[in-house]
């Protein structure tokens, strides 16, 4: 059977009705009178910290845990019409959330999922940026590894040090919401002989992304 992966970027305006439509259009939710499809479907909801977990997922928890035609549920669609559906057994829901602690009703949602914590200071995240940027360097040098004294290697080491030092300081300040994941640094330019390009890029990232994020976390 085939496998379909569907990624959705969640924002504050993403509603449970929209999520229901997504489940229906991807054949995760099947009308009770229809047989299940043969394909496997994986729905990935990214940035769940921007939504209320209980409001978005609350109505789907029981039918998701009991995926079969024997456990139908009533779903209200975006057009206001309700219908009976069930989740087929080969439908899976994954999510990403950049949040250290959940509160209130969101804690009840947490109990229905298996959680994998990816900390910036532990593997596989800790070494991810280093591996990514070194691969970039090797590609630029056509498959060869430049010596550690090469300016490109030195500036990559500097970027890695900035990332680790930044997050170490934020952790000590008690501002976990401001911690920076490695993805913000993936766009770092690797230009042999032009280290200034990386410095300019870092300056823009600092002023446009890092500084406002840190300021917001500290003031809040």
The answer as to whether 25 is a domain residue is: yes
The answer as to whether 202 is a domain residue is: yes
Range of the domain at 189: 128-219
The predicted pLDDT at position 72 comes to: 87
Same domain, 142 and 101: no
Same domain, 20 and 106: yes
The predicted pLDDT at position 193 comes to: 82
Cis? peptide before 46, omega within 30° of 0? no
The predicted pLDDT at position 195 comes to: 83
The answer as to whether 54 is a domain residue is: yes
The answer as to whether 116 is a domain residue is: no
Dihedral through CA 12, CA 14, CA 16, CA 18, nearest 10? 170
The answer as to whether 150 is a domain residue is: yes
Same domain, 91 and 132: no
The predicted pLDDT at position 1 comes to: 65
Same domain, 138 and 198: yes
The predicted pLDDT at position 69 comes to: 85
The answer as to whether 95 is a domain residue is: yes
Last-in-domain residue among 82, 110, 138: 110
Asked if residues 178 and 157 have their Cβ atoms less than 8 Å apart, the reply is no
Same domain, 11 and 106: yes
Same domain, 69 and 28: yes
The answer as to whether 121 is a domain residue is: no
Instruction: List the beta bridge partners of residue 94.
Output: 44
Count of domains in the chain?
Answer: 2
Same domain, 97 and 8: yes
Asked if residues 179 and 168 have their Cβ atoms less than 8 Å apart, the reply is no
- pLDDT per residue rounded down to tens, the chain (220 residues): 689 999 999 999 999 999 999 999 999 999 998 888 888 999 999 999 999 899 999 989 889 998 888 888 888 887 878 889 999 999 999 999 887 677 778 878 888 888 888 888 889 889 999 999 999 999 998 888 888 888 999 999 999 999 999 999 988 888 877 889 899 999 999 988 888 999 999 999 999 999 998 888 888 7
Same domain, 90 and 147: no
Entry pTM:
0.73
| Exposed e or buried b per residue across 100-117, where buried means at least 16 C-beta atoms within 10 angstroms of its C-beta | eebeeebeebeeebeeee
């Amino acid at each position: 059977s085939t496998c379909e992966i569907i990624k959705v970027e969640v924002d504050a305006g993403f509603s449970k009705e929209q999520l229901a439509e997504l489940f229906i259009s991807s054949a995760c939710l099947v009308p009770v009178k229809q047989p299940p499809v043969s394909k496997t479907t994986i729905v990935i909801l990214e940035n769940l910290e921007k939504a209320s977990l209980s409001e978005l997922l609350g109505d789907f928890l029981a039918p998701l845990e009991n995926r079969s035609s024997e456990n139908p549920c009533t779903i209200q669609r975006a057009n206001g019409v309700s219908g009976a559906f069930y989740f087929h057994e080969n439908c899976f829901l994954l999510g990403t959330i950049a949040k250290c602690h959940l509160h209130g009703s969101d804690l009840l949602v947490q109990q229905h999922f298996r959680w994998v914590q990816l900390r910036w200071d532990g593997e596989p995240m800790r070494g991810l940026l280093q591996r990514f940027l070194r691969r970039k360097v090797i590609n630029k040098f056509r498959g060869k590894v430049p010596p550690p004294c090469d300016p490109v290697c030195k500036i990559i080491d500097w970027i890695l040090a900035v990332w680790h030092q930044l997050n170490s300081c934020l952790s000590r300040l008690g501002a976990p919401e401001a911690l920076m994941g490695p993805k913000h640094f993936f766009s770092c330019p690797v230009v042999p002989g032009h280290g200034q390009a990386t410095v300019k890029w870092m300056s823009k990232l600092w002023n446009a992304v890092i500084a406002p994020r840190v300021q917001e976390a500290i003031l809040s």
